Amino acid sequence: MDHFTYKNGELYAEDLPVATIAKEVGTPCYIYSTATLERHYKVFSGAFDGSNALVCFAVKANSNLAVLKTLANLGAGADVVSGGELQRALAAGIPASKIVFSGVGKRPWEMETALKAGIHQFNVESEPEIRVLSEVASRLGMEAPVAFRVNPDVDAKTHAKISTGKAENKFGVPWQDVSRIYREAAALPGIKIQGVDVHIGSQLTDLDPFNNAFKRVRELVEDLRREGHDITQVDLGGGLGIPYDGTIPPSPASYGAVAIEAMGNMGVQLIFEPGRLIVGNAGILVSEVIYVKQGAERKFIILDAAMNDLIRPAMYDGYHHIDTILEPSSESIRELADVVGPVCETGDTFARGRELPPVEAGDLVAFRSAGAYGAVMASTYNTRPLVPEVLVNKDQFEVIRKRPSLDEMLELDTIPTWLDNGK
Ligand SMILES: *Cc1c(COP(=O)(O)O)cnc(C)c1O
């Protein structure tokens, strides 16, 4: 459920016509809905009412400070994967005690910042990493609270590029080494073993892989406890999918039931790291049709948004539903077209052979479900300014990241002195 709906014949974001925002901010632009963010967070966290659970929003899905602050106000924690994301989460008012730090390549300065901030947990992904963390913590006279991310070797049955829980993936410590790694880590100075972490992939639309992974983790916790480790935290990661193309994923409630069935009576604090589920359907990308071009074999709708603004279709074959901002009448014919951007890459194609109502130059369209892994993955390829972001709250909106000017972009480059010729 989201708050982007047709009213009076045009698409609204909550109580505001999308066209009004697009006119003021320009296109392309991302528009997020506060009510949708809040609803999704509450539905997810509500699945764990009465359980000892900490919901840590996966900041990499959407790291805008205004989005983070909206979630912080609801009590969300954060799952961060870099020193930069840690700084964002703290700046948005998420308490360090609700922040977990994931990622395979943490550097000493990032560990130091996180230790000094007093984060809840490091999700450690390798033996070299735990040795560096031990050194950093010892040097500071501190103790790092640690869970190892384990690789349960389960198939998440999702796109290969967002599958993370198979033995062949770079994530987590190998299942057969877990026992030894915990034993050795427990003996290291500056390390406090407290948990187990697992995250098997993203956009999962089936509960079986979660169920398999969570049951394996349960057995692991029992084994580790027998081996003398005081496991009080179990981080079950993120990954629950959203409906992009009509496939309806399991509800947070049924996902929660699977987690609680596996772990509920273990006497641990459960940690969840949902990203896409919270922000995905809370955002749209609005774009203007530049040209409609009849090619030799097919029709192309050329938009002012491109792969640099929304890379999911090019990178993951991601599907986004595309709506016209004007509500099509039920009788209006549909035409097949390829929807593309202006970037000089064949990969800059949002949809092939998509059925759409007739559009012409100057019309606005909206990519639905663009709130997760959209703006955060944007680049300036083709010297296209980073796409701006807007947050709507009922009948108000504000720009929460502005579009940089071309001058601002060019100012980041410098001409070396030997090319400058004193001019
Ligand atoms: C990406 C990621 C998440 C969030 O995944 P979603 O599919 O967006 O819920 C959670 N935890 C870790 C470790 C991740 O890398």
Whole-number pLDDT of residue 423:
56
One pLDDT digit (tens) per residue for the chain, 423 residues: 799 999 999 999 999 999 999 999 999 999 999 999 999 999 999 999 999 999 999 999 999 999 999 999 999 999 999 999 999 999 999 999 999 999 999 999 999 999 999 999 999 999 999 999 999 999 999 999 999 999 998 888 788 877 787 778 888 899 999 999 999 999 999 999 999 999 999 999 999 999 999 999 999 999 999 999 999 999 999 999 999 998 999 999 999 999 999 998 999 999 999 999 999 999 999 999 999 999 888 999 999 999 999 999 999 999 999 999 999 988 888 889 999 999 999 899 999 999 999 999 999 999 999 999 999 999 999 999 999 999 999 999 999 999 999 999 999 999 999 998 765
* CA–centroid distance, residue 126 to ligand 1 (Å): 18
Yes or no: say if 126 and 104 are a contact pair by the CB < 8 Å rule: yes
Contacts 24+ apart (CB under 8 A), 13-20: 13/284, 13/392, 13/397, 14/392, 14/393, 14/394, 14/395, 15/394, 15/395, 16/392, 16/395, 16/396, 16/397, 18/284, 18/286, 18/325, 18/364, 18/366, 19/325, 19/364
For residue 105, the number of C-alpha atoms closer than 13 Å in the C-beta half-sphere is: 1
Yes or no: say if 337 and 294 are a contact pair by the CB < 8 Å rule: no
Yes or no: say if 169 and 151 are a contact pair by the CB < 8 Å rule: yes
Helix, strand or coil for residue 330?
coil
Ligand 1 atom having least distance to the Cα of 241? 7
Whole-number pLDDT of residue 130:
98
**What is the rounded distance in angstroms from the CA atom of residue 201 to the CA atom of residue 119?**
24
**What is the rounded distance in angstroms from the CA atom of residue 227 to the CA atom of residue 75?**
35
Whole-number pLDDT of residue 422:
61
* CA–centroid distance, residue 286 to ligand 1 (Å): 25
Pocket probe for ligand 1: among 67, 101, 199, the residue whose CB has the most ligand atoms within 8 Å is: 199
Q: Which CATH number is correct for 4-31+280-410, 3.40.50.970, 2.40.37.10, 1.10.260.40, 3.40.50.880?
A: 2.40.37.10
Whole-number pLDDT of residue 35:
98
Whole-number pLDDT of residue 96:
98
Handedness of CA 172, 175, 176, 181 (dihedral sign): positive
Q: Which CATH number is correct for 34-276, 1.10.8.60, 3.40.50.300, 3.20.20.10, 3.30.930.10?
A: 3.20.20.10
Asked whether 237 lines ligand 1 (CB < 6 A), one says yes
Enter the pTM of the model: 0.97
Asked whether 120 lines ligand 1 (CB < 6 A), one says no
Task: Give the residues across from 352 on adjacent strands.
Answer: none
* CA–centroid distance, residue 307 to ligand 1 (Å): 22
Yes or no: say if 12 and 323 are a contact pair by the CB < 8 Å rule: no
CATH 2.40.37.10 domain residues, the chain: 4-31+280-410
Whole-number pLDDT of residue 379:
98
E-state strands within 90-139: 99-101, 121-124
* CA–centroid distance, residue 202 to ligand 1 (Å): 6
Asked whether 280 lines ligand 1 (CB < 6 A), one says no
Residue 159: φ, ψ to 5°: -60, 140
How many angstroms separate the first and last alpha carbons of the chain?
58
CATH 3.20.20.10 domain residues, the chain: 34-276
